[in-house]
Amino acid sequence: MNDLSDKKWRCIELPATEYRKAWSLQSNLVAARKDKSIDTDIVLLLEHFPVFTLGSNSGLKNLTVSKKFLEKAGIPLIRVERGGDITYHGPGQLVMYIIIDLHAARLSVLDYIEKLEEVMIKAAQDWGIRAQRNSANRGVWISKKKLGSVGIAIRRGVSFHGMALNINLSLEPFGWINPCGLQKMAMTSMEQELSRKVPMNQVREAVKHHLEAVFGVDLVMTGLSELQGLQYNSHRPTRTHTDFSPADLAGGNSHLGNQSDCFVAKNL
C-alpha cells in the first residue's frame, strides 16, 4: 500500500453493497488513514441496496410516511454520522466515498465539496445534461430539481462519505421524505432527464476521469485483496480490509444502503 505519491489515489470498485458493510469499511479505512497505515487517499465506487439514512443531528420530521410503512417496504432507516438530514439511496445511483486527508491535500471543506460537485457536473455534461451548483443548498441541480448530493463527515482532518449521483434509480422513495429537509423539493436522474437508460459502467468511467482531472490525481485501480495486511488504529480491534469479501459486502437479502446529503459533520 505504501510508496504511492500524493498525486495517486487508490480506487476500489465494489459490487452492490450492503450499507453497514460499506460503512464499517469506511470507518476502518479512516482509522488507517489517520494512523498512517495507509499513506494515500482511497476512493470507493459502488451502488447500495435501498435505504433511508438520517444525518447525525436530524430527526424524523422529514420522513413523511410511517416507520411501519418502511418496514413493510423492506427499506431500513439508519442514522449515520454525516451531516445533513434524511436521504434515500438505492440501485441505479452511483455512490462515491472518498477517504481523504484534507490537511495533507491542502483543501478546505468548502473547496472539497465544490470539487465533488464539479465532478458530478462534468459527468452529467458528458451526456448533454446541464447541471449546476446552488450555493444555498449543496449538491448539483437542474433548475429546481436535484440530480446529485454531497455529504461528508470529518474525523481529525480525514473526510469520508462523499457524493451520490442519480443515474437510473427509482425516484418514488424520495416522495416519502423531504430530501435534505427541504419541502416540495423534486429529485431527478439522468434517466429522467434523457428519457432513456444510461449505462452505469459508462458513468463510472466518466466519474473516474473527471475525478482525476478536477483533483489533479491519478487513480490506481485496486482490488480488495491488495489491501490485505493493513493494520488499523490500536484503539480498534486489529483487522484487515479484506475481512470483507465481495460476497460479504453484498449482504445476502439485506436491503441496506447509504448516505450523502447536504451538510458536513466535523471532528467526530
Active site residues: 180
What proportion of the chain, given as a percentage, has pLDDT over 70?
A: 77
Pairing of strands 87-89, 145-155: unpaired
Task: Decide: 115 and 214 in contact? Cβ < 8 Å.
Answer: yes
- Please choose, from the candidates 66, 55, 14, 63, the residue with its C-alpha nearest in 3D space to the C-alpha of residue 149: 55
Query: Given the C-alpha cell 493493513, which residue does it identify?
Result: 230
Range with lowest mean pLDDT among 20-34, 42-56, 69-83, 205-219: 69-83
pTM of the model: 0.83
CA dist 65 and 82 (Å) reads 23
Residue 51 neighbours by CB under 8 Å, 6+ apart: 19, 75, 76, 77, 78, 88, 89, 90, 255, 256, 257, 258
For range 144-151, the mean pLDDT = 92
Report the mean per-residue pLDDT for the chain.
82
CB atoms within 10 A of CB 194: 12
**53 vs 123, more confident:** 123
**13 vs 65, more confident:** 13
User: What pLDDT is recorded for position 102?
Assistant: 97
148-204 per-position pLDDT tens digit:
999 899 998 999 999 999 999 999 888 777 656 566 678 999 999 999 999 999 999
Task: Decide: 10 and 42 in contact? Cβ < 8 Å.
Answer: yes
What proportion of the chain, given as a percentage, has pLDDT over 90?
A: 53
Task: Decide: 166 and 190 in contact? Cβ < 8 Å.
Answer: yes
CA dist 225 and 235 (Å) reads 24
For range 128-144, the mean pLDDT = 91
pLDDT of residue 255 exceeding 70: no
For range 21-46, the mean pLDDT = 93
77 falls in which pLDDT band (50, 70, 90)? Answer: confident
**254 vs 199, more confident:** 199
pLDDT of residue 120 exceeding 80: yes
User: What pLDDT is recorded for position 259?
Assistant: 33
Ramachandran area for residue 82 (φ above 0: left; ψ -120 to 50: alpha; else beta): beta
For range 51-75, the mean pLDDT = 79
Range with lowest mean pLDDT among 57-61, 174-178, 216-220: 57-61
What are the cell numbers at 63? Answer: 420522513
Taken in order of first residue, the domains within the chain and their CATH numbers are 8-261 (3.30.930.10)
86-101 per-position pLDDT tens digit:
788 999 999 999 999 9
Range with lowest mean pLDDT among 19-28, 54-63, 130-139, 189-198: 54-63
80 falls in which pLDDT band (50, 70, 90)? Answer: confident
Task: Decide: 165 and 203 in contact? Cβ < 8 Å.
Answer: yes
For the residues of 11-54, what is the DSSP string, one character each?
Answer: EEE--SB-HHHHHHHHHHHHHHHHTTSS-S-EEEEE-B-SEEEE
CA dist 248 and 94 (Å) reads 20
pLDDT of residue 256 exceeding 60: no
Task: Decide: 159 and 153 in contact? Cβ < 8 Å.
Answer: yes
